Homo-oligomer: A and B are copies of this chain.
Amino acid sequence: MNPLHRRYVHGHSDRESERLYYQASKLAELLHHDTCYSPGSRVLEAACGVGAQTVILARNSPGAEFVSVDISPESLATAKDRVFQEGIRNVAFRRADIYDLPFGPETFDHVFVCFLLEHLADPLLALNNLKGILRANGTLTVIEGDHGSALFYPDSRDAHRVIDCLVQLQRQAGGNALIGRELWHLMTDAGFMDVTVSPRQVYADCSRPDSVEGVKHIFITMIEEVRKEAISRGMVDKETWEKGISDLYRTTEQGGTFCYTFFKAVGRKEG
């Protein structure tokens, strides 16, 4: 296995797939409303995973032709089923390695990447590879989160500690859970032109029950998934973990607030 590939820190459980579908549908408007490809354009979705974003992407650009790739055959099979069930017909699936793409130079008009770079040991190499298969003046769109953006009330040291467990585990797996803030320099260093980054902030308090549900089922659930590993590696003791998770849930109750920022970057390949 390519040493650049590491274990997917969030695991591959059904619960994780459901979390990803839920996340994609909840965040569709915030993250994807301004991504629309013109009819006839060829778009690569790099690392489609279980197809959580694929459905939204393909619906937003019904005239575009998508090729969605992933390194995991299992994820790809799930994605195919999902997209077929949704009645979407403008997506072809193919197994591919982001570090060794099976496409010739300038094959695509646009490339779309969501929640991928955070898991890669060499995001710059990945961006360079994606630039290679993009035609001149084609665009690359990247969306990533940044767990350092989590801001909440009541504030809690233990809550920050459990979040930090995921950040550390992802780092040990070769990734970077704080990559959102780095998109501008990564895209620019990879040679993309006219790079624009726009932060997309989620804010939840009791008057926004839908956002509060999102915080529970997207963010806190994601943290909870690394419980066993964090404790068994001695990153945190059981008591602190339970207190940290309980404090995170407290932010979704009466008087609590929770903020999180995603970053979306768009760049153009030199003409």
A178 touches B205 (CB 8 A): no
Contact across chains for A196 and B185 when beta carbons are under 8 A apart: no
A-B pairs with beta carbons under 8 Å apart, 27 shown: A146-B151, A148-B155, A149-B259, A151-B181, A155-B178, A155-B181, A181-B257, A181-B259, A182-B257, A184-B206, A184-B207, A184-B257, A185-B256, A185-B257, A188-B206, A188-B255, A195-B207, A196-B207, A197-B203, A197-B205, A197-B207, A197-B257, A198-B203, A199-B201, A199-B203, A201-B261, A259-B261
A39–B118 CA distance with the chains assembled, in angstroms: 51
Return the CB mask of A144-181 against B: 1 if under 8 Å, else 0: 00101101110100000000000000000000001001
Interface size on A, residues (CB 8 A): 29
> Which B residues touch A178, using CB under 8 A?
155
Docked pose: A184 CA to B252 CA in angstroms: 12
Seed contacts A181-B259, A201-B201; 20 additional CB < 8 Å A-B pairs: A146-B151, A148-B155, A149-B151, A181-B257, A182-B257, A184-B206, A184-B207, A184-B255, A185-B255, A185-B257, A188-B206, A188-B255, A189-B255, A196-B207, A197-B205, A197-B207, A198-B203, A199-B201, A199-B259, A201-B261
Nearest chain B CB to A43 CB, angstrom units = 24
Q: Which of chain A's residues 241-271 have a Cβ closer than 8 Å to chain B?
A: 255-257, 259, 261
**Which of A148, A198, A259 has the most C-beta atoms of chain B within 10 angstroms of its own C-beta?**
A259
Chain A interface residues (CB < 8 Å from chain B): 146, 148-149, 151-153, 155, 178, 181-182, 184-185, 188-189, 195-199, 201, 203, 205-207, 255-257, 259, 261
Which residues on B sit within 8 Å (CB–CB) of A198?
Answer: 203
Closest 4 A/B residue pairs (Cβ): A185-B255, A184-B205, A153-B181, A199-B203
